[in-house]
Amino acid sequence: MRLRKTALVAAGLVAVLAAAAGCGSGSGAGGGTKNSDGSVTIDWQMWAGSSDEQKQLDHLTKLVHQKYPKINLKLRTAPFKDYFTKLQTEMSAGKQACLVSMQSLRLPGFAANLEPLDQLAKDADLSGFDPAALKALKADGKQYALPMDLGALMMYYNADAFKKAGLKAPAKGWTIDEFVADAKALKAKSGKPGFGMSFSDLNLMSLLYAYNGAQPVSGDKLTLTGKKMQDAMTWYTELATKEKVGSVPASSSEGGWGETQFANGNAMMAVDGTWNIGSTIGQAKFNASVAPLPVGSAGARTYVANSGYGISTNCAYKKQAFQALSVLTGDEAEGYLADQGRAYPARTSQQPKFGEYLAKQDPKKADLVKNALATVKDGLDGSVPFTTTQNWDQVNQLFSQYLLQAYTGATSPKNALDTVQQRAQRGA
C-alpha cells in the first residue's frame, strides 16, 4: 500500500520527465511534418536578432502560406553570430530544418548537407537574379542556394569629418595610399582614429584583398603563410602600430569593433558590408556615406557576400520546400525586405525599392543614400565571392585571439598568421 504510494511518486516524476521531454522544439526528423489535413509544415532555420527582424520573417512565412495554402513554414531563429555553430549542432542531432538559410561564406562547409538545386530549379526562371548574387551561392559549380540579397564590402566614411579636414570625399578609383593619407589627416584634425580595425573575416580580409589581392583561402585550404598575405597583413597592422591611425579592438571578444566604433563616431572610416548601409546611415549622428574599397596593387577588388536559402539533403518534402523557397526569393518577398530596409535585393527589379526606403527614412540624407547605392554597383567591380574552409568558426576564433596580438604590437603580423595557420591545421 505504502509501497504503491512511493511508486506513484516515482511514476509521477517519470511522467514529469516525459512531459518535459515533449516540450522540446517538436520537430521530427525530415525537417518538417505532414499534418492530418494533408498540408505540410516545413521547418525553416534563419538568423534573426531583433524583434523587428523576427516580425519581417513572420511576414515572409505568411506570404508562402498565401501562395501555397498547403504549406506552413515553421520558423526557427538564432542570432547571426551563433547561427552556424547552432546549425552544426542541429545537423549532428539530425534535427536540421528543411529550409536552411545560408551565407555565401559558409556555403562550402555545409554543401555536403545541402541539396543541389539545379534539378529542382530546372523549370524556374533564375534570370531575375543579379548574376553576382547567384554566383556567390555556388560551390563546385552547383547552385546550393537561391539568393535573398546581394552584398559587398565597402568603405564607410564620416563625410562630416572629411569635410572638416578639407579632404576630398573618397570615390571610385581612390587608392590605398590616399586611404592612408586621409586616415592620417582625419586623425590629425579630429584627434580620433582615422580607421576602425577589425579581425572579423569579411571586414578584415576584404581590405587585404583590396590592398594586393591576397586571399586567405585557396580551394578549400587556408593559405595565410604566403608572401602576399604577409605583406597585406603587415600593412594593415601598421595602421595601428606605425601610422597610429587605427582603432584597435578592446578585446578578442569584440567581433564588430571597427563598424561599431565608426557608427558611434569614434573612428572616421571602417570596412563594412552593404547590408548595414540602412542602419548605419540612419542611426549615425553624423553624415555617413560609403565608397568602394581603395584600389591597391592588384586593381579594384572586393568580396561579394550574400545570403540565401537552401534545402537540406535529409528534407522529406523537397518539392514543397522548393515551392516555399521560390516564394521567399520571389519578387514580392524580396521587395518587402527592401521596403523594410532589411536587405539590398538579389532580384534586380526590386533593387530600387531599397533606395526608396532609405531616402524615405531621412529625407535630409537622401543624397547620401543615392550616392551610397550608386557606389554599391561600382563596388561590385572586380568582386569575387569570399570562400572559406570547413573549420571556419575555428579560424575566426583564432583570428580574434592572435591578430589582436599583432595589432597591439605584441607579436609580428607574420607570427600571428603563422600561428593561426598552424593551429587551424588539426580541424581542417
Partner 1 sequence: MSTDTLRRTAAHDTGADRIQRRQRNRRIRQTISHVLLVLVALAFLFPLIFTVATALKPAGETFSTPPSLVGSSIRWQNFVDVFTFVPFHRYILNGMFVAGAGTIVTLIASALSAYAFASLKWRGRDSLFLVFLGTIMVPQEVLIVPMFILMQRFGWVDSYAALIFPWAFTAFGTFLLRQFFKAVPYELQEAARIDGCGPLRTFLQIMLPMAKPALGVLAVFTFVNFWNSFLWPLVMINDVNARGTVPLGLELFFGQNGNQWHLVMAASVISILPTLILLLFLQKHLVKGVATSGLAGR
Partner 2 sequence: MAVAEATRTPAPAKRRRSRSARREQWHATGFITPSVVGLGLFTLFPVVMAVVMSFYKWPMLGTHEFVGFSNFSYLFGGDPDFLAAVRNTFVFTGLFVPLNIIVALGLAFWISTSRFQQLFRVLFFIPSITPAVANAVIWKLLYQPDGVIAYYTEKLFGVHAPNFLADGHTALLAVVVMSVWQGFGYNMIIFSAAINEMPPSVLEAASIDGATGIRKLLRIQLPLISPSLFFATVMTMISSLQVFTQVFIMTGGGPGNSTETMVMNVYQAGFVSRDLGLAAASAWILFALILIITAVQFVGQKRWVHYEH
Q: Select the residue interacting with partner 1 from 40, 95, 143, 156 (CB under 8 A).
A: 95
Distance CA 76, CA 93 (A): 15
C-alpha cell at 139: 560551390
Q: Does 287 bind partner 1 (CB under 8 A)?
A: no
Does 263 engage in binding with partner 1 (CB under 8 A)?
yes
Closest approach of Cβ 156 to partner 1, in Å?
A: 13
Binds partner 1 (CB under 8 A): choice among 58, 82, 331, 362? 82
Binding track, positions 378-407, relative to partner 2; x by CB under 8 A: -------------x-xx--x--xxx-xx-x
**Partner interacting with residue 23 (select from partner 2, partner 1, none; CB below 5-8 Å by kind):** partner 1
Q: For residue 106, how far is the Cα from the chain centroid?
A: 9
Residue 287 binds to partner 2 (criterion: CB under 8 A): no
**Binding of partner 2 at residue 81 (CB under 8 A)?**
no
Residue 411 in contact with partner 2, rule: CB under 8 A: yes
Closest CA relative to residue 59, chosen from 328, 361, 348, 308: 328
Return the range that interacts with partner 1 (CB under 8 A); candidates 22-30, 31-39, 114-122, 389-397: 22-30
> Using CB under 8 A, which of 13, 15, 29, 188 touches partner 2?
13
Q: How far is the CB of 77 from partner 2 (least distance, A)?
A: 19
The Cα–Cα gap between 340 and 276 comes to: 13
Give the interface size with partner 1 as a residue count (CB under 8 A): 41
Minimum distance of partner 2 from residue 180's CB (angstroms): 22
Beta-carbon count within 10 A of 1 CB: 4
Cell (9 digits) for 179: 586611404
Amino acid at 427: G
Q: Which three cell numbers stand for residue 389?
A: 574552409
Residue 332's binding partner out of partner 1, partner 2, none, with CB under 5 to 8 Å set by partner kind: none
In terms of Cα–Cα distance, which of 345, 348, 332, 344 is closest to 62?
Answer: 332
Residue choice 36, 37, 69, 93 for contact with partner 1 (CB under 8 A) = 93
The least distance separating partner 2 from the CB of residue 200, rounded to whole angstroms, comes to 12
Q: Binding to partner 2 by residue 10, rule CB under 8 A?
A: yes
Which residue lies nearer to partner 2 by CB, 91 or 181? 91
Cα–Cα dist 392/388, whole Å: 6
Distance of closest approach, residue 350 Cβ to partner 2, in angstroms: 36
**Residue 408 binding result from partner 2, partner 1, none, given CB thresholds of 5 to 8 Å by partner type:** partner 2
Handedness of CA 326, 327, 328, 333 (dihedral sign): positive
Q: Does residue number 20 form part of the binding site for partner 1 (CB under 8 A)?
A: yes
CA distance 139 to 222: 17
Query: Whose Cβ is closer to partner 2: residue 297's or residue 405's?
Result: 405
User: Are 324 and 40 a contacting pair, CB within 8 Å?
Assistant: no
C-alpha cell at 405: 596580438
Q: At what angle do helices 201-212 and 227-241 cross, to 10 degrees?
A: 110
Q: Is 265 in the site for partner 1 (CB under 8 A)?
A: yes
| Number of other residues whose CB lies within 10 A of the CB of residue 132 | 18
Burial 71-106 (b: 16+ CB within 10 A, else e): bbbbbbbbeeeebbebbeebbeeebbbbbbbbbbbb
Element at 226 (helix H, strand E): none
Q: Are 389 and 109 in contact (CB under 8 A)?
A: yes
Q: Which does 349 bind (CB under 5 to 8 A by kind): partner 1, partner 2, none?
A: none
Beta carbon of residue 214, minimum distance to partner 2 (angstroms, whole number): 22
91: contact with partner 2 by CB under 8 A = yes
Binding flag, residue 13, partner 1 (CB under 8 A): yes
Minimum CB distance to partner 1, residue 65 (Å): 19
For residue 196, report the phi and psi dihedrals to the nearest 5 degrees. Answer: -90, 115
In 274-323, DSSP assigns E strands to 288-291, 302-304, 307-311
Which residues here bind partner 2, judged by CB under 8 A? 2-3, 6-7, 9-10, 13, 85, 88-89, 91-92, 248-253, 266, 391, 393-394, 397, 400-402, 404-405, 407-408, 410-411, 419, 423, 426-427
Which residues here bind partner 1, judged by CB under 8 A? 1-2, 5-6, 9, 13, 16-17, 20-21, 23-25, 48-51, 54, 76-82, 86, 89-90, 92-93, 95, 254-257, 260-261, 263-265, 285
